[in-house]
Amino acid sequence: MGTKKHNFSAGPCILPQEVFQKASEAILDFNGIGLSLLEISHRSKDFVPVMDEARAIVKRLMNLDDSYEVLYLQGGASLQFIMVPFNLLTKTGKAAYLDTGTWASNAIKEAKRWGNIDVVGSSADEKYSYIPKDYSVDSSYDYFHCTSNNTIYGTQMKSFPEVDTLKVCDMSSDIFSRQLDFSKFDLIYAGAQKNMGPAGTVLVVVKKDILGKTNRDIPAYLDYALHIKKESMFNTPPVFAVYASLLTLQHLEKNGGIAAAEERNNAKAKLLYDEIDYNPNFEGFAKKEDRSVMNVSFRLTDKSKKEKFDQMWKDAGINGLNGHRSVGGYRASLYNALPIESVQVLVDVMKAL
């Protein structure tokens, strides 16, 4: 077995070691039943409690009441770019979107196929290095859509606007990383493969009473109401991804829940941003006030040091530090499972450059 790396990958990404251990045991022998998790029916008495608890734990962690439903679907966050307009946008309606980068733009592109979409704010003018703030959304819109954390650029919404319509948020890259009043949102979705679990499922948290108001004919798989009626088992769910997500959320709950994770995440981000600001070899990409606690984007001030720096962090056992190709430079993703010791290793390498 290789030496465990310091994994700064943006996603799929690091998960707690305990989750890898338990998930691999379940593949060989699930709960001691003499069968693999992968070879039993999703409707068996062994799997149904996994789905039930995976749904229940999300509401406990987010402090949400029974007016919300939790679903584990497939198709990633990208399918939510389509399901949201299908379920919430009326045929003659319009929706307001905030454009904070590639993923937000993709959501806008999909929604435009189905309705009237207004981009109420965009930071495209400065390469998505900040979060637009001066905009308002009135009740003429069916809903407002935003992206809480912009994985590629390393920007994060520190607060959310009061809007006069439904509030929908793509929280793919900062779900369960910080305390928020989740009851202020009507629909939240997040691809699991960052803070929640492996790739293969997308979490949807939806307020039940917002559904059933569109006048569209919704194809079965795209219909939230149908998934709710079938208790997130309309078709075969991604059993492994759901189980591993449950293990990750149980690990989070056992370790102090979202509040404790937020404290650890803030400490990690401070350690790294302080070095970026102090060390003349580096500069941050995102505007300071909008810096993400999850994805830290930065670059060298002198590009001629690239080869040396790249060799140094690789030698230190660091993985996944290259920035997204559209931004360049470096990106350190500090998801929940990344220990502060890994951040210290990176900071030490930066100091030694």
Ligand X SMILES: Cc1ncc(COP(=O)(O)O)c(C=O)c1O
Annotated binding site for L-glutamate: 43
99, 103, 142, 207: the active-site residue = 103
Helix (H), strand (E), coil (C) string for the chain: CCCCCEECCCCCCCCCHHHHHHHHHHHHCHHHCCCCHHHCCCCCCCCHHHHHHHHHHHHHHHCCCCCEEEEEECCHHHHHHHHHHHHHCCCCCEEEEEECCHHHHHHHHHHHCCCEEEEEEECHHHCCCCCCCCCCCCCCCCEEEEECEECCCCEECCCCCCCCCEEEEECCCCCCCCCCCHHHCCEEEEECCCCCCCCCCEEEEEEHHHCCCCCCCCCHHHCHHHHHHCCCCCCCCCHHHHHHHHHHHHHHHHCCHHHHHHHHHHHHHHHHHHHHHHCCCEEECCCHHHECCCEEEEEECCHHHHHHHHHHHHHCCEECCECCCCCCCEEEECCCCCCHHHHHHHHHHHHHC
99, 142, 170, 186: the active-site residue = 170
Q: How many Cα atoms occupy the beta-carbon half-sphere of 4 within 13 Å? A: 9
User: Smallest distance, Å, CB 152 to ligand X?
Assistant: 7
- Judge contact between 72 and 245, C-beta under 8 A: yes
User: Smallest distance, Å, CB 239 to ligand X?
Assistant: 18
Residue placing its CB nearer to ligand X in the complex, 191 or 329 = 191
User: Smallest distance, Å, CB 238 to ligand X?
Assistant: 12
Binding site for ligand X (CB under 6 A): 11, 76-78, 103, 147, 151, 170, 172-173, 191, 202
Residue list, annotated binding site for pyridoxal 5'-phosphate:
77-78, 103, 151, 170, 193, 235-236
Residue placing its CB nearer to ligand X in the complex, 211 or 294 = 294
User: Smallest distance, Å, CB 53 to ligand X?
Assistant: 23
User: Smallest distance, Å, CB 301 to ligand X?
Assistant: 27
- The closest alpha carbon to 178, from 76, 270, 99, 62, belongs to 62
Residue placing its CB nearer to ligand X in the complex, 286 or 347 = 286
Known catalytic residue at 103: yes
Known catalytic residue at 114: no
Residue list, annotated binding site:
43, 77-78, 103, 151, 170, 193, 235-236
d(CA 105, CA 147): 10
User: Smallest distance, Å, CB 41 to ligand X?
Assistant: 26
Residue placing its CB nearer to ligand X in the complex, 105 or 344 = 105
d(CA 348, CA 353): 9
- The closest alpha carbon to 278, from 259, 294, 298, 295, belongs to 298
- The closest alpha carbon to 229, from 246, 249, 212, belongs to 212
Known catalytic residue at 310: no
C-beta nearest to ligand X: residue:
76
Residue placing its CB nearer to ligand X in the complex, 206 or 300 = 206
99, 167, 186, 194: the active-site residue = 194
User: Smallest distance, Å, CB 191 to ligand X?
Assistant: 3
Residue placing its CB nearer to ligand X in the complex, 11 or 237 = 11
Residue placing its CB nearer to ligand X in the complex, 173 or 342 = 173
Q: Which residues are catalytic?
A: 103, 170, 194
